[in-house]
Amino acid sequence: MVCKLHKSLYGLKQSPRAWFTKLTQALLNWNFSGSKADTSLFFFSSSRDILIVLVYVDDIIIIGSTQGLITSLIDFLNKHFTVKDLGQLHYFLGIEVHHSDMGLHLSQTKYITNLLKKTGMFDSKPSDTPMSSTVSLSLCDGVPLEDASDYRNIVGALQYCTLTRPDLSFAVNKVCQFMHSLTVSHWQTIKRILRYLRGTLYHGLSISPISSPSLVCYTDADWASCPDDHRSTSGYCIFFGGNLVSWVSSKQKVVSRSSTESEYRAVANGVAEIAWLKYLLPELLVPLDSIPCILCDNMSTISLSANPVLHARTKHVKIDYHFVRECVATQTVLVQYTRSSDQLADTLTKSLSTFRFLSLHSKLNVLHRPLSLRGDDKV
């Protein structure tokens, strides 16, 4: 027998799709438009007002130019759904939002506290860095773990912490590479990350008002850094008007034959993310006042991005990476040089010394939450 549902039931795999379809239709009836850059984003704009709605299943953030417009939308949604208005944004999917005169501070103090208590690391001795600069993890390090289920659960929880903690990105990305073959050495690295979180419990991402809407991207790569397959690690961090909005630390999918090639692939990843942001910002009525800039500390890579000649040493590089040249030629982006000492993406590609790590830490806008904003914490 085949049963046809007239109403979606909670718990079925079709329920999220049915719910999103109904919510989308309701918003479209209110003259909202769906974003082409992000399917979970909706926006409404008129000559004077703008409304932005961000949806994650049944959790919704509403941003508007006036409180009256936000109230009208909530009243409209309340006619179609059971809506609970929680007021000013202060907590969303485990992310705490603290408001001040300086802007917003995004942190996951409660989430991290629960993780430390669950793992028995809340009373551990804090560490200055999430990973030792002298450690190079490998598949063959140490004795294999008998039961790796706890390891995998903790690594999954740490991945969620990187939403507001870019300083964790490299270390978490590194331990994620050994989920299929876990050893005691890998577990020690996990414990060091947890000890680092214990010492930086109130750290989070700070967002301040901007006067100049511009995009600046730092890209970097650590050539052949993996001792097992000799693949490189690349990373980028993108600032919008001085606020960090996007960052990635990842292992490259192919082996690079030179440091220039690995850096070029990192630049390509940064340019792709810049292209997406340039597609998204006009939908939010945010104009850019300058051409986005890519900052790289490898002069050969900068030459390669501007030179249309395909040299013999780059014939093996995939054609899709050469779209960087087209973007440079059409002035979609500018690729410029920055000194290695000023390369902020350095912390996303390798483990650093304590002095170097701390010097880059605040430049990524990962700051300590002021004491005046901790009155509501229940640790």
Average pLDDT, the chain: 89
Q: Quick one: average pLDDT of 65-75?
A: 92
Instruction: Supply the pLDDT for residue 137.
Output: 87
Q: Quick one: average pLDDT of 206-218?
A: 91
Q: Quick one: average pLDDT of 84-104?
A: 91
What contacts 369, CB < 8 A, 6 or more positions away?
98, 105, 107, 109, 202, 203, 204
What is the value of pTM for the model shown?
0.89
Q: Which long-range contacts (CB under 8 A, 24 or more apart) does 95-102 make?
A: 95/163, 95/164, 96/204, 98/369, 98/373, 100/370, 100/372, 100/373, 102/206, 102/208
Instruction: Supply the pLDDT for residue 372.
Output: 60
347-364 confidence digits (pLDDT tens): 999 999 999 998 898 899
Instruction: Supply the pLDDT for residue 161.
Output: 94
In the structure, what pLDDT confidence band is assigned to residue 379 with cuts at 50, 70 and 90? very low
Is the confidence at residue 224, as pLDDT, over 80?
yes
Instruction: Supply the pLDDT for residue 7.
Output: 72
Is the confidence at residue 377, as pLDDT, over 80?
no
263-276 confidence digits (pLDDT tens): 999 999 999 999 99
Instruction: Supply the pLDDT for residue 228.
Output: 87
Is the confidence at residue 11, as pLDDT, over 80?
no
In the structure, what pLDDT confidence band is assigned to residue 203 with cuts at 50, 70 and 90? very high
154-178 confidence digits (pLDDT tens): 999 999 999 999 999 999 999 999 8
In the structure, what pLDDT confidence band is assigned to residue 150 with cuts at 50, 70 and 90? confident
Do the Cβ atoms of 186 and 175 come closer than 8 Å? yes
Q: What is the CATH number of domain 212-364?
A: 3.30.420.10
Query: In 165-209, which ranges are E strands?
Result: 203-207
| Chain centre distance of CA 362 | 17
Is the confidence at residue 378, as pLDDT, over 50?
no
129-149 confidence digits (pLDDT tens): 999 988 888 888 888 877 778
Could you state, in order of their start, the residue ranges of all structural domains in the chain? 15-87, 106-203, 212-364
Q: Quick one: average pLDDT of 33-51?
A: 90
